[in-house]
């Protein structure tokens, strides 16, 4: 009888320890601002660790990359709502974005265009980033280009693996060829899909206000120039890293 009670007690304690182990996970805070959750499957003292995330990815980090390591309660979510789990987005540090897009011209001075944006910035927290961008605008009708120089402000509305976002580009475009550039303003709304530890796919729609200088003259040989908005509705796809 005593042996049975002892055996049941051992099994109970072992089961309890297993539940505790399953309810906790390792949390690794990197010096670049990233936060990674999972299970440390291998550790070389004072050198490196190997961590497996809940989705089966394996990451190896040297101790020089790690700010601190803790344990936390594991977040168990069904697959149907896994997109609502925390994205562990960067809490700070460098962020880069590359975007490709197309603009459908609207208004009296409408022209379709191809868009390229290259942005380098700083992520202040999971929700706000500010950067400086450049790129290219190729106007199909004019067969000419502009080079935009702008400040980009980006806000993620949620800290989830899928999050709506808002961004605003404001700056000036330099004419190349037959076009004379001017003031640039481009708001965008969209969705961000986290695809790996530090990378996300971004899809957005918006409007681009692009001032251009147009020259004119009349039959009395007077001439001048005017600045007009060559606006467009835009769609763009990009990656952040």
User: Do residues 219 and 109 share a domain?
Assistant: yes
User: Do residues 117 and 201 share a domain?
Assistant: yes
User: Do residues 223 and 160 share a domain?
Assistant: yes
User: Do residues 66 and 155 share a domain?
Assistant: no
Which residue(s) pair with 136 in the sheet?
116
The CATH number of whichever domain residue 200 belongs to comes to 2.40.160.20
d(CA 17, CA 157) in angstroms, rounded, equals 38
The CATH number of whichever domain residue 43 belongs to comes to 2.30.30.100
Q: Which pLDDT value is given to residue 61?
A: 92
* 36-43: long-range pairs with CB below 8 Å, 24+: 36/88, 36/197, 37/72, 37/74, 37/75, 37/88, 40/69
Q: Which pLDDT value is given to residue 216?
A: 59
Q: Is residue 103 part of a domain?
A: yes
Q: Which of 205, 203, 202 is nearest to 232 (CA)?
A: 205
Q: What counts of helices (H) and strands (E) characterise the chain?
A: 1, 14
User: Do residues 149 and 225 share a domain?
Assistant: yes
Q: Is residue 19 part of a domain?
A: no
User: Do residues 136 and 184 share a domain?
Assistant: yes
d(CA 239, CA 120) in angstroms, rounded, equals 12
Q: How many domains does the chain have?
A: 2
Q: Which pLDDT value is given to residue 23?
A: 61
Q: Is residue 9 part of a domain?
A: no
Q: Is residue 148 part of a domain?
A: yes
Q: Which of 134, 146, 221, 144 is nearest to 182 (CA)?
A: 146
Q: Is residue 61 part of a domain?
A: yes
User: Do residues 148 and 106 share a domain?
Assistant: yes
Instruction: Tell me the whole-structure pTM to 2 decimals.
Output: 0.62
User: Do residues 54 and 103 share a domain?
Assistant: no
Q: Is residue 197 part of a domain?
A: yes
User: Do residues 65 and 184 share a domain?
Assistant: no
User: Do residues 155 and 203 share a domain?
Assistant: yes
Domain holding 210, by residue range, is 93-240
Contacts of 10 (CB under 8 A, 6+ apart): none
User: Do residues 99 and 64 share a domain?
Assistant: no
Q: Is residue 4 part of a domain?
A: no
User: Do residues 216 and 119 share a domain?
Assistant: yes
pLDDT in tens, the chain (241 residues): 545 444 444 444 444 444 444 467 889 998 888 888 888 988 898 899 998 887 778 889 999 999 999 887 665 444 444 444 455 555 678 999 999 999 999 988 889 999 999 999 999 988 999 999 999 999 998 889 999 999 999 999 988 889 999 999 999 999 887 888 899 999 999 999 988 878 899 999 999 999 998 765 665 666 666 788 999 999 999 999 9
d(CA 26, CA 66) in angstroms, rounded, equals 13
Q: Is residue 191 part of a domain?
A: yes
Q: Which pLDDT value is given to residue 103?
A: 96
Q: Which pLDDT value is given to residue 71?
A: 83
């Amino acid at each position: 009888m005593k042996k049975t009670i002892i055996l049941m007690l051992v099994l109970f304690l072992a089961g309890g320890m297993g539940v505790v182990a399953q309810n906790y996970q390792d949390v690794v805070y990197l010096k670049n601002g990233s936060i990674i959750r999972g299970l440390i499957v291998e550790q070389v003292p004072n050198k490196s660790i190997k961590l497996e995330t809940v989705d089966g990815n394996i990451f190896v980090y040297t101790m020089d990359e790690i700010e601190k390591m803790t344990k936390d309660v594991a977040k168990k979510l069904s697959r149907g709502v896994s997109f609502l789990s925390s994205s562990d987005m960067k809490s700070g540090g460098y962020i880069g974005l590359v975007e490709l897009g197309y603009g459908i011209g609207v208004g009296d001075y409408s022209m379709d265009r191809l868009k390229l944006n290259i942005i380098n910035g700083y992520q202040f927290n999971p929700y706000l980033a500010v950067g400086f961008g450049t790129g290219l605008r190729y106007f199909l009708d004019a067969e000419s280009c502009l080079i935009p120089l702008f400040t980009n402000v980006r806000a993620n509305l949620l800290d989830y693996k899928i999050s709506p976002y808002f961004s605003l580009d404001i700056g000036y475009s330099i004419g190349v060829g037959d076009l004379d550039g001017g003031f640039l303003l481009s708001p965008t709304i969209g969705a961000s899909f986290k695809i790996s530890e530090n990378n996300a796919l971004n899809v957005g729609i918006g409007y681009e206000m692009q001032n251009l200088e147009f020259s004119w003259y009349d039959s009395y040989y007077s001439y001048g120039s005017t600045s007009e908005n060559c606006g467009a509705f835009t769609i763009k796809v990009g990656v952040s890293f």
